[in-house]
Amino acid sequence: MKVAIDASPLKNQHNTRGIGSYTQNLIESFKRLKEGIELEQFYDPKNPPNVDVVHYPYFDFYFNTLPIFKKQKRVVTIHDVIPLVFPDKFPAGLKGRFNLQRQKLALKNTDAVICDSVTSKQDIINKLGYPQDKIHAVYLAQGKNFKKINDKKLLNKISKKYKLPLRFILYVGDVNWNKNLPNLLEASKLADVNLVMVGKAILDENLEQTKSLISKMKSIGISEKVLRLGYIQEEDLISIYNLASATLVPSFYEGFGLPVLESMTCGTPVICSKNSSLTEIAEEAAIYCDPNDSKDIALKINQTIGLKKPDLSERLISHAKKFSWEKVATETIRVYKKVALE
């Protein structure tokens, strides 16, 4: 079976974000599996090659990312539907609303949808009206290089490189509304802890959300206790996860929540919201907080700091092992085969 995957996220603005990571990991996993598919990459979404199945690994609601008409069977990955679940927080504008209707038309000419969680599957049914039997929830996984590091020299080197505090909590992600950063900042102040923030948008002061983040830090007087690192290469990020006392994911909503698994794989405790896909992914392995209550987040921070012990780390690592890119690739190929036979 010949399969073509749209690899354009590896060469555009998505290359350092989740969509780029998803595309790269999927392609690499296919190559390792060698499960009877002949894989081809293409970079012009409007002109896919002549194959059995075409896979678009992303779907934008307000931009034309998917051709309306298709020449062959195709699969689309929709990672989450958060902008449609909270439309007042993600205003589309007139052009965006027009494009959404166009994207919905294109989606109707799609043979299957892959999403990251059961939460996202239900949202796609509710918000996009796509047939339930054609939606396949395939859980993501942490990168294969994430692991617990016992090399103290390496950890000390990374700590000095980024001037990390001796003890800190970690946030890895974007600055979108659903990430709940104002309450995260409030909680870190109440808990009186150092906060390290990683993510390309964290340093992008052209973004209104980032400007608001900086303003909030100043207004509550914690600028000196917040270290904004921006984008970090995976090799160093793994060490930073290992050095953190805990990783925070206090989101109002997530379609998956990859930092949960990345942190657990490194043996570092996770404090996350008890909502959306986060409870699906973390199950009993996380410490849950109320995202609407900064006092509760602070309480969970104080309860968690100091818990990083060998027995807990092993339980976290064991839980994260349930997820792998080999499994992602195998389940994705299963979708391809189903579509090709229909």
Judge whether 141 and 324 are in contact, CB under 8 Å.
yes
- At residue 136, what are phi and psi to the nearest 5 degrees? -125, 115
How far is residue 51's CA from residue 305's CA, in Å, rounded to a whole number? 52
Who has greater pLDDT, 204 or 305?
204
pLDDT at 139: 98
Helix then strand count (H, E) for the chain reads: 13, 12
Which whole number is the average pLDDT over 23-47? Answer: 90
Structure confidence at residue 196 (pLDDT): 98
Task: Report the pLDDT averaged over residues 282-301.
Answer: 97
State yes or no: pLDDT of 312 exceeds 90.
Answer: no
Residue 14 has pLDDT above 80, yes or no: no
What mean pLDDT is predicted for residues 190-219?
96
Residue 305 confidence (pLDDT): 86
The overall average pLDDT reported for the chain is 94
Q: DSSP 3-state assignment of 172?
A: strand
Task: Give pLDDT tens digits for 251-274.
Answer: 999 999 999 999 999 999 999 999
Report the C-alpha gap between 78 and 85 in whole angstroms: 14
Whole-number pLDDT of residue 11: 87
CB–CB of 193/226 below 8 Å? no
Question: What span, in angstroms and rounded, lies between the C-alpha atoms of 149 and 267?
Answer: 9
- In the predicted model, is pLDDT for residue 219 greater than 80? yes
The pLDDT tens digits for 141-194 are 999 999 999 999 999 999 999 999 999 999 999 999 999 999 999 999 999 999
Q: Is the distance from CB of 66 to CB of 107 less than 8 angstroms?
A: yes
| pLDDT (average), residues 52-60 | 96
Q: Residue 16 — very low, low, confident or very high, per pLDDT cuts 50/70/90?
A: low
pLDDT of residue 178: 97
Strand partners, 24: none
pTM of the model: 0.94
How far is residue 16 CA from its own chain's centroid?
Answer: 12
Check residues 19 and 311 and name the one with the higher pLDDT: 19
pLDDT for 315 equals 93
Query: Distance between terminal CA atoms of the chain?
Result: 14
CB 264 within 8 A of CB 285: yes
* pLDDT at residue 123, as a whole number: 97
Higher-pLDDT residue of 99 and 36 is: 99
Domains delineated in the chain? 2-141+324-341 (3.40.50.2000), 152-320 (3.40.50.2000)
Q: Among residues of the chain, what percentage have pLDDT more than 90?
A: 91
Check whether 34 has a pLDDT greater than 80. Answer: no
- Residues 6 or more apart in contact with residue 244 via CB below 8 angstroms: 168, 169, 170, 196, 263, 268
What is the mean pLDDT of the segment spanning 51-78?
94
249, 285, 289: which is closest to 267 by C-alpha?
285
Tell me, what amino acid is at 60? Answer: D
94-144 residue pLDDT tens: 999 999 999 999 999 999 999 999 999 999 999 999 999 999 999 999 999
Q: Computed over its alpha carbons, how large is the radius of gyration of the chain?
A: 20
Buried b (16+ CB within 10 A) or exposed e, 165-194: eeebbbbbbbbbbbbbbebbbbbbbbbebb
Map tokens 């064991």 to a residue.
Answer: 318
CA 107 → CA 2, 3, 53, 261, distances in Å? Answer: 22, 19, 15, 30
The pLDDT of residue 12 is above 80: no
